[in-house]
Chain A
Amino acid sequence: MHPAPSVILFTTLSGLGFGFLAFLGAGCLHPAGLTAFLLWGLGYALAIGGLLFSTFHLGNPQRAWRAFTQWRTSWLSREGWASVLTLLLLAPVALSDWLGLGWSGLPGVIGAAMCFVTIFTTSMIYAQLKTIPRWNHWVTPVLFLCFAGTGGAILAGKVALAVAACLVLAAVMVAGWQIGDRRFADVGATMESATGLGAIGKVRVFERGHTAGNYLLREMIFVVGRKHAARLRVIALVLTAVVPALMLLLAGPHPVAIALAALCHLAGAMAQRWLFFAEAEHVVGLYYGQR
């Protein structure tokens, strides 16, 4: 799949944003005044920014409002509702923290839970696709949730939790890769099943039907740069989990350390997300003899 910057930014930023908002909503931090304004602002900015980036992926963003209509069937629509509801639910909590209104924390707890629901809906946009076996597995939502939790914990400065989350995230990432590498074969789609010609013999491409490019080749048969996958996996692992955990362990919840750890984690998340797309093989590639 084509690793479009818009979707990488969308999933990483909103994931981090909602993860952090969950910590704020759950009351793990007790910010007030300007600090509250800045921290809540950061959470909102990440979440909303990420969502805005997603609209760059659209052919007709002016109609984006229509995406709220199909929540009964569409994970993308559900994601829209969940994110908006979550942001609305948390708004009074944020106001209360900023202005010291002392309102009930209950919406915050519900909002925190909704943050993870939102992350889950985002992950299901990908995990639901049978056509992309690497994504079509429970490990995808787990991975997205772990990312949100880890990012949130880092930004929240909860050192012990963050370090533990980093370890879990690292494990889930490694598991995700291992599971993902087997998925295409497990699903069993082949050039033979794609063409129905397997009963005659082994199938290979003679001519792919068009020498010019097309949407499918650009969007779903992205093979460029996969040769760097192994190196990128290590980089992603180190940046998302190892370095942030070490930084926090060594420097403690110092704002500078938190900021650096979060940036490092975010950079790693982007590398991971690039791989998430670039390594995802769509079954349509079988028709082109490529995956």
Chain B
Amino acid sequence: MSQPILNLSPAVSDEVRKTTCYMCACRCGINVHLKSGKVSYIEGNRAHPVNKGVLCAKGASGIMQVTAPSRLRAPLRRVGPRGSGAFEEISWDEALELAVSWMKPLRETAPEKLAFFTGRDQSQSLTGWWAQNFGTPNYAAHGGFCSVNMAAGGIYTLGGAFWEFGQPDWDRTRLFVMFGVAEDHDSNPIKIGLGKLKARGARVIGVNPIRTGYNAVADDWLPITPGADGLLILSLIHCLFEAGKIDLEYLAQWTNAPLLVNEAEGPEKGLILKNAESQPFVIDRRTGMPAPWDGTGVQPDLGAVWEGHRTVFQHMAERYLSPEYAPEVVAVRCGIPAARIRALAAELADEAFNQPIEIAQGWTDFRGNRHEKMTGRPVSFHAMRGISAHSNGFQTARALHLLQIILGTVEVPGGYRFKPPYPKPVEAHPTPNFVAVPGKPLSGPHLGYVRGPEQLALKPDGSPARIDKAFTWENPFSAHGLMHMLIPNAHAGDPYRIDTLFLYMANMAWNSSMNTAKVMEMLTDRGEDGEYVIPRIIYSDAYASEMVAYADLILPDTTYLERHDCISLLDRPISEPDAAGDSIRWPVVEPDRDVRCFQTVLLDLGARLGLPGMVNEDGSPKFRDYADYIANHQRRPGVGPLIGFRGNGDAEGRGAPNPDQLQRYIENGGFYQAHVPEEALFYKPWNKAYQDWAVATSFYETPQPYLFSIWSEPMRRFQLAAEGQGAIQPPDHMRARLKQAMDPLPVWYPPFGDEGTTGYPIHALTQRPMDMYHSWGTQNAWLRQIRGMNFLYLPTKIWEEHGFADGDYARVTSPNGEITVPVAHMAALNENTIWTWNAIGKRKAAWALDDAAPEATEGFLLNHLISELLPEKNDGMRWSNSDPVTGQAAWFDLRVRIERVGPRDQSEPAFGPIPRVVPKGEGRA
């Protein structure tokens, strides 16, 4: 017998449709292959700027997501008690009219009584605009419990942060250091970048308590104690200052280091000294006299003293040369030996200063000075939630940016690079708008960047204007809102009662809440009058998540392959350092259920409510659907959701709406890129060519060059208020905390979670696996086979100390709760840290899974151990468990103790099965 004859060139599919993935937030381009009108295979789009053809485990499993049995099938109205699962199917007209009948009276009387929060949302420019036109101040997305510290820390320091704001120069960097990276964020780009570094043998260093994933391939690993990253970074800065290994030229030219700090007692103390024209100034080294900060040829003197006022640089030197940051002093707290800290500082200095790289490309800075080449320092960093989700996360993020700045590695070849529309300093962002007026839209966007106490979202009586208490003294810079405080505050009626909770894709009854069991109680709690404390809940999702059972009205969304979307420059785009980019989703298959794209539903609701911008003058709906909005909405004249193919099809950035725009995007593979000119590729905040290009491409209205804020004036303004200066004053009990947290120079203080932790010696963390996104992956027949349950990983020291064996469970106790969960041993782990994979544990019967699914028996959440409030302090108050600057939920401050309980087969707490709104999944579709 001879070899079988094979058909080596079978037809791959009937048709390929190119759209954007939504198996996580990474927004890769995908080729969706169709056979007989059905999805047959999904692969990465090689031409796409985000993933360049590659695709992760989730993306390639999308075919199981569009056929998942957990998909909701039709609008549902609750008919039994909340949480009972008693729903009836209703028509879309009934559903929309019901929603309007709840919302319309609120808009006319008290718009703030509608709270609209979105979870896994990539259309905030639409949802925020809708809420703004409704007139409620109560709108945000999930950033408050995700990574607002990272984002805001970056904006307030550099005018950008990591991920959508910027990334390492993967092609040139030679030393890459990552801190506390969440393995799902920017996942394929980071993996592609790491691959590039590995392929050319560049060095990768991981600073993380846990050595998995990216840290597993790192060439060196520093098993930092959680919450101490900032201290380690400041110690590195100390070493670099001590040795004079800092980029003085860079500091003098591009940062506020040479500006003078007002030393005069009074309301201006500690602010940047201004001249008669209210402009900051520098002392010119050539003359020793004041000179404009942006003057041509000026050589700012970092060491100047002017009438007793010292430069920011001198304040920096004073602080960071202090022995309190010496490696020998911080080593124990960081869990890293002093010698290793010194070695890392030496490595950074060596790569940055001994091996600079040059690109022969001239450019002109905003002062008009011409530079003949671009000099780079091939050291770069990346950080994410690991440093962000601590109560010192904002200052830690700032510290990391300071480290990048003193090494001169921001916006230079080999360092960190902004992605358009960033850089955008605080001044280029709006301030919060929050004043609710019945029947009127809000005066502007909800979320913004506070410059001083006068921008806090406070009512005249000083009480919070927002239900989540964002932009208050407790968290002045809460730029992403505080979704994690929404339900507790709404339940407590603090600061006021609301009527309707309107949620999109936010699994608040499970993995997206701290203290999950308590939140479930709050959602079903009734007042003395027998009515629900939170009277109405409208929820939109595509799948039967744990949250669905707690809604009164369910608006079923489409899956990502059945819908339009835009990934917009007005929102969270897909830019690269070399090009601005945006993209779309479009229905590559039609839904087989009575479901609608949520954004289309939102526009429909807006039209029915008569919201400005959503109706024509005659009251008819302005937009047919979301696709119509994407192509035709104009935020400013000529500026819409998408920058590509505007006007007659060849206008970029600015131009009239083009009815064929979406078709052009589809023909172009679902995305568009506006390429940054060669001369504008680096030094973007100061590069004239970039500033001009950014204006032309619609990111700014005028050029906005700026200096990096090493010394943060907005922060100092809050310190001043805490010191008693100014008309707007914090409550007395907040003063000490504000003075500490709002330090204008990056600082480190122990995480608040450390207080009162006697008896809770162990740090407990979660990580997101690369193959599972939040709770979404579990319904996926392929992904759940990879990771259908989770273990609590224990370091060798704890494993041996307690005599654990394979198959054992442990009881884990925090000041807030107790869980009993399966454990496994891990050696490559900080010796005082335990951890598990996030969001694997499921409520029984959720997501169309069997009641006995491993996700619901052995799988578990750490959330039960965490509270949105800290334990009561001496003053009898329960402070919020979050960063005092931004309100970022401090998930990673968690401290626990552990005991062995032997083998079991069910994690605790175990909840009963959740009522099913879709039948249990059987075979594969």
A–B contact with Cβ pairs below 8 Å: the answer is yes
A69 touches B1 (CB 8 A): yes
Kindly list chain A residues whose C-beta atoms are within 8 Å of the C-beta of B826. 206
B213 nearest CB across to chain A (Å): 11
Q: Quick check: is A210 within 8 A (CB to CB) of the other chain?
A: yes
B785 touches A210 (CB 8 A): yes
The one of A69, A204, A209, A211 in contact with B854, judged by C-beta atoms closer than 8 angstroms, is: A211
Q: Quick check: is B789 within 8 A (CB to CB) of the other chain?
A: yes
Kindly list chain B residues whose C-beta atoms are within 8 Å of the C-beta of A199. none
Interface residues in A182-237 by Cβ distance below 8 A to B read: 204, 206, 209-212
A211 touches B1 (CB 8 A): no
Nearest A-chain residue to B858, judged by Cβ? A211
- Cα(A204)–Cα(B824), bound, Å: 12
Kindly list chain B residues whose C-beta atoms are within 8 Å of the C-beta of A209. 786
Interface residues in A40-67 by Cβ distance below 8 A to B read: none
A209 nearest CB across to chain B (Å): 7
Q: Quick check: is B739 within 8 A (CB to CB) of the other chain?
A: no
A212 touches B788 (CB 8 A): yes
B195-214, CB under 8 A of A: which get 1 and which 0?
A: 00000000000000000100
- Cα(A211)–Cα(B828), bound, Å: 21
- Cα(A196)–Cα(B49), bound, Å: 36
Q: Quick check: is B315 within 8 A (CB to CB) of the other chain?
A: no
The one of A69, A204, A206, A211 in contact with B789, judged by C-beta atoms closer than 8 angstroms, is: A211
A210 touches B1 (CB 8 A): no
- Cα(A209)–Cα(B57), bound, Å: 13
- Cα(A69)–Cα(B788), bound, Å: 43
- Cα(A211)–Cα(B854), bound, Å: 9
Nearest B-chain residue to A70, judged by Cβ? B1
- Cα(A212)–Cα(B854), bound, Å: 9
- Cα(A206)–Cα(B828), bound, Å: 9
Kindly list chain A residues whose C-beta atoms are within 8 Å of the C-beta of B245. none
Interface residues in B423-481 by Cβ distance below 8 A to A read: none
Kindly list chain B residues whose C-beta atoms are within 8 Å of the C-beta of A210. 785-787
A212 touches B1 (CB 8 A): no
Count of chain A residues near B, Cβ 8 A: 7
B787-799, CB under 8 A of A: which get 1 and which 0?
A: 1110000000000
The one of A69, A206, A211 in contact with B786, judged by C-beta atoms closer than 8 angstroms, is: A211
Q: Quick check: is B82 within 8 A (CB to CB) of the other chain?
A: no
Kindly list chain A residues whose C-beta atoms are within 8 Å of the C-beta of B785. 210-212
Nearest A-chain residue to B787, judged by Cβ? A211
Kindly list chain A residues whose C-beta atoms are within 8 Å of the C-beta of B827. 204
- Cα(A212)–Cα(B788), bound, Å: 7
Kindly list chain A residues whose C-beta atoms are within 8 Å of the C-beta of B789. 211
Nearest A-chain residue to B827, judged by Cβ? A204
- Cα(A69)–Cα(B2), bound, Å: 12
- Cα(A69)–Cα(B1), bound, Å: 9
Q: Quick check: is B774 within 8 A (CB to CB) of the other chain?
A: no
Nearest A-chain residue to B826, judged by Cβ? A206
B346 nearest CB across to chain A (Å): 26
- Cα(A206)–Cα(B786), bound, Å: 14
- Cα(A161)–Cα(B785), bound, Å: 56
B827-842, CB under 8 A of A: which get 1 and which 0?
A: 1100000000000000
B781 nearest CB across to chain A (Å): 10
Kindly list chain A residues whose C-beta atoms are within 8 Å of the C-beta of B786. 209-212
- Cα(A204)–Cα(B826), bound, Å: 10
- Cα(A157)–Cα(B647), bound, Å: 101
Nearest A-chain residue to B211, judged by Cβ? A206
- Cα(A18)–Cα(B288), bound, Å: 109
Q: Quick check: is B104 within 8 A (CB to CB) of the other chain?
A: no
B834 nearest CB across to chain A (Å): 15
A188 nearest CB across to chain B (Å): 25
- Cα(A252)–Cα(B789), bound, Å: 61
Kindly list chain B residues whose C-beta atoms are within 8 Å of the C-beta of A211. 785-789, 854
A151 nearest CB across to chain B (Å): 37
Nearest B-chain residue to A204, judged by Cβ? B827
Q: Quick check: is B285 within 8 A (CB to CB) of the other chain?
A: no
- Cα(A204)–Cα(B787), bound, Å: 19
Q: Quick check: is B784 within 8 A (CB to CB) of the other chain?
A: yes
A58 nearest CB across to chain B (Å): 20
A218 nearest CB across to chain B (Å): 14
Interface residues in A93-151 by Cβ distance below 8 A to B read: none
- Cα(A260)–Cα(B828), bound, Å: 60
- Cα(A209)–Cα(B788), bound, Å: 11
Nearest B-chain residue to A289, judged by Cβ? B806
- Cα(A212)–Cα(B849), bound, Å: 14
Interface residues in B833-876 by Cβ distance below 8 A to A read: 854
- Cα(A69)–Cα(B826), bound, Å: 50
Interface residues in A61-99 by Cβ distance below 8 A to B read: 69
Nearest A-chain residue to B790, judged by Cβ? A211
Kindly list chain A residues whose C-beta atoms are within 8 Å of the C-beta of B788. 211-212
B765-788, CB under 8 A of A: which get 1 and which 0?
A: 000000000000000000011111
Kindly list chain B residues whose C-beta atoms are within 8 Å of the C-beta of A212. 784-786, 788
Nearest A-chain residue to B769, judged by Cβ? A207
Kindly list chain A residues whose C-beta atoms are within 8 Å of the C-beta of B854. 211
A215 nearest CB across to chain B (Å): 12
A63 nearest CB across to chain B (Å): 14
Kindly list chain B residues whose C-beta atoms are within 8 Å of the C-beta of A206. 212, 826, 828
Nearest A-chain residue to B788, judged by Cβ? A211
Kindly list chain B residues whose C-beta atoms are within 8 Å of the C-beta of A204. 827
A68 nearest CB across to chain B (Å): 12
- Cα(A69)–Cα(B212), bound, Å: 49
A223 nearest CB across to chain B (Å): 12
- Cα(A204)–Cα(B799), bound, Å: 15
- Cα(A204)–Cα(B212), bound, Å: 14
Kindly list chain B residues whose C-beta atoms are within 8 Å of the C-beta of A69. 1
- Cα(A61)–Cα(B99), bound, Å: 60
Instruction: Specify which of A204, A210, A211, A212 lies most central, judged by the most chain B CB atoms within 10 Å of its CB.
Output: A211
- Cα(A73)–Cα(B664), bound, Å: 60
- Cα(A212)–Cα(B859), bound, Å: 13
- Cα(A209)–Cα(B786), bound, Å: 6
- Cα(A197)–Cα(B789), bound, Å: 27
- Cα(A204)–Cα(B854), bound, Å: 24
Nearest B-chain residue to A209, judged by Cβ? B786
Nearest B-chain residue to A205, judged by Cβ? B824
B591 nearest CB across to chain A (Å): 29
- Cα(A206)–Cα(B211), bound, Å: 11
Nearest A-chain residue to B786, judged by Cβ? A210
- With A209-B786, A211-B787, A212-B785 given, can you name 12 additional A-B contacts, CB distance below 8 Å? A204-B827, A206-B826, A206-B828, A210-B785, A210-B787, A211-B785, A211-B786, A211-B788, A211-B789, A211-B854, A212-B784, A212-B786
Q: List 19 A-B contacts (CB under 8 A).
A: A69-B1, A204-B827, A206-B212, A206-B826, A206-B828, A209-B786, A210-B785, A210-B786, A210-B787, A211-B785, A211-B786, A211-B787, A211-B788, A211-B789, A211-B854, A212-B784, A212-B785, A212-B786, A212-B788
Shortest beta-carbon contacts, A-B, top 9: A212-B785, A211-B788, A211-B789, A210-B786, A210-B785, A212-B788, A211-B787, A206-B826, A211-B854
